[in-house]
Amino acid sequence: MPIEFDIDRPVADIARRTSGFVRDTVMAAEEACHGDVHSGPEPLRRGLQEAARAAGVFAPHVSPRWGGLGLDMRGQAVVFEAAGYSLLGPLALNCAAPDEGNMHLLAVVATQEQQERFLAPLAAGEARSCFAMTEPAPGAGSDPRALATAAVRIPGGWRINGRKWFISGADGAAFAICMARTGGGPGDPGGATMFLVGSDNPGMKVVRNIDTLDRGLFGGHSELAFDDCEVPDDAVLGEVDKGFEYAQVRLGPARLTHCMRWLGVARRAQDIALERADGRSAFGGRLAELGMVQQQLADSEIDIETCRAVLWRACWELDQGRPGAQHTSIAKTFVSEAVNRVVDRAVQICGALGISADAPLSALYREVRPFRIYDGPSETHRWAIAKRAVRAARAGRERGVTVR
């Protein structure tokens, strides 16, 4: 089946309306708070989401059953890019991390009762959530098998103990999806279980909000403590000991949606650079007439178009129901680094303006740098990409096939 690059008319219409909504409504809100929403405020989020709902662009990724527009991954790629043009665009559309990934996970894994209790308010923007897997060293980080938080059975449920950190959106979240070890020990490839833990549970507390380079994720990044946190049996998400398997349900698509949103940031940075290069005069002409500036602009155009191509390919794989691990890792690695290059070039072209608060580039710059770490650093993905490539080559040789 060929990969289609034409955008369906309904998707194109949603993307067009999203672009207009971001330009007319969201950009002003971003400018007013300088893109800093680590501490909220909640009225800002709810106001933007009500405006998105009125504009008909709310929750493009969510099934119509839960009040969304029901786009597949390729459709999401187009609309999320349009939303990502502003740092607050994904928040307004209710497709920002970590809620977007949690919605997908709950839609696939949760029971009907769990979906009614957790997914419904999340999809409607009535609640926020977090995904609690990352731990302080030597716990789970780039290597999830190092998971140290443990859950043990008690009558009628489970008791969770452990520490989590850099948990995005935890401050003010209505619930957490907590990954805890129910079998084996740190380093073992299995034995993890996901638990749904309400914020009113006295055994789960926000220890602190971590001061980080980026400021654009609503609720920031927090350290959590699970101290004798007791949950009932129906708090188990999916099946016991299948947490790592379910994590892949979430992480693959979530890596791509990160790419979609940040591609919008790259487009915005390039637009700023193009406007500056065409309007700024120096050395007897416009910057856009200088060869070195032309090369930077051209390289950014190449990066943006290549990002879109590898992203759409990975989305197509998932839409076809194919295993998408390799293309997902390739897309995440390439896009995260290319977006950084595009924003960096824009800063360089704009010079002193680029690093000042008079232009949004400095805010964009601080947001995109952590993207090379989020959802697996580039080094971890490269390691996994190489392992899969070697494994595929070996399998091909064993079958007598030398060309992939």
Kindly tell me the burial class for residue 112, based on how many C-beta atoms sit within 10 Å of its own C-beta (0-12, 13-18, 19 or more).
Answer: exposed
Rounded mean pLDDT, 218-233? 98
Mean pLDDT of all residues in 52-66: 98
Domain 245-398, architecture per CATH: Up-down Bundle (1.20)
Judge whether residue 13 has pLDDT over 60: yes
**pTM, two decimal places:** 0.95
Q: Kindly tell me if the per-residue pLDDT of 3 is higher than 70.
A: no
Q: How far apart are CA 344 and CA 354, in angstroms?
A: 9
Q: What's residue 1's pLDDT?
A: 53
Mean pLDDT (whole number) for 139-160: 96
Higher pLDDT, 231 or 189: 231
Judged against a pLDDT cut of 70, whether residue 208 lies above it is answered with yes
> Is residue 402 over pLDDT 90?
no
**Would you kindly state where each structural domain of the chain is located, as residue ranges?**
9-96, 129-241, 245-398
**So what's the pLDDT on residue 193?**
98
List, for residues 278-323, the tens digit of each pLDDT value: 999 988 999 999 999 999 999 999 999 999 999 999 999 999 999 8
CA distances from 247 to 44, 100, 163 (A): 31, 14, 19
**pLDDT at 6 (0 to 100):** 84
pLDDT band at 399 (very low <50, low <70, confident <90, very high): confident
**Angle subtended at Cα 108 by Cα 9 and Cα 203, rounded to the nearest 5 degrees:** 130
- Closest by Cα among 287, 303, 289 to 348: 287
Reply yes or no on whether the pLDDT at 40 is more than 90. Answer: no
CA distance 50 to 68: 13
Percent of the chain with pLDDT over 90: 94
Residue 403 has pLDDT above 90, yes or no: no
**Model pLDDT, residue 272:** 98
CATH architecture of 9-96: Orthogonal Bundle (1.10)
Question: How high does pLDDT run on average in the chain?
Answer: 96
CB 97 within 8 A of CB 220: no
Report d(CA 66, CA 114) in Å as an integer.
Answer: 13
pLDDT at 138 over 70: yes
CA-CA distance, 114 to 320, in Å (whole number)? 27
Mean pLDDT across 322-328: 93
Q: Give 22's DSSP letter.
A: I
pLDDT at 393 over 80: yes
Confidence band, pLDDT 50/70/90 cuts, at residue 400: confident
Average pLDDT over residues 17-22: 98
The Cβ of residue 307 has, within 10 Å, a number of other Cβ atoms equal to: 25
- Just give the CATH number of 129-241: 2.40.110.10
Give Cβ neighbours of residue 270 (< 8 Å, ≥ 6 apart): 297, 300, 301, 304, 342, 346
Query: In this model, does residue 151 exceed pLDDT 90?
Result: yes
Mean pLDDT value of segment 49-75: 98
